[in-house]
């Protein structure tokens, strides 16, 4: 079992949303298993030729 720590700022933000500790732990579990596929934007393409 892994431990998940929340900062004070994040905990305060969480109280204002419908996000539960269970949902947060589930998301962390998925990330740890590599099940997350995300596009973080920024327009960075590592395969692009810069010549």
Question: Looking at residue 40, what is its pLDDT?
Answer: 72
**Structural domain includes residue 43:** no
**Structural domain includes residue 40:** no
Residue 37 has phi, psi (to 5 degrees) of -125, 110
Domain coverage including residue 18: 1-35
Q: How far is CA 26 from CA 2, 7, 16, in A?
A: 11, 18, 19
**Structural domain includes residue 49:** no
Q: How many domains does the chain have?
A: 1
**Structural domain includes residue 13:** yes
Mean pLDDT, consecutive 10-residue stretches, the chain (51 aa), reads 89 96 92 80 64 52
Residue 28 has phi, psi (to 5 degrees) of -65, -40
**Structural domain includes residue 18:** yes
Question: Looking at residue 50, what is its pLDDT?
Answer: 57
Question: Looking at residue 7, what is its pLDDT?
Answer: 97
**Structural domain includes residue 50:** no
Question: Looking at residue 17, what is its pLDDT?
Answer: 96
Q: Give the DSSP H or E segment for 32.
A: helix 21-32
């Amino acid at each position: 079992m892994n431990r998940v720590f929340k900062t004070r700022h994040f905990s305060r933000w969480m109280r204002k949303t419908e996000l539960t500790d269970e949902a947060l732990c589930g998301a962390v579990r998925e990330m740890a298993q590599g099940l997350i596929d995300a596009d973080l934007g920024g327009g960075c393409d590592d395969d692009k030729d810069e010549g």
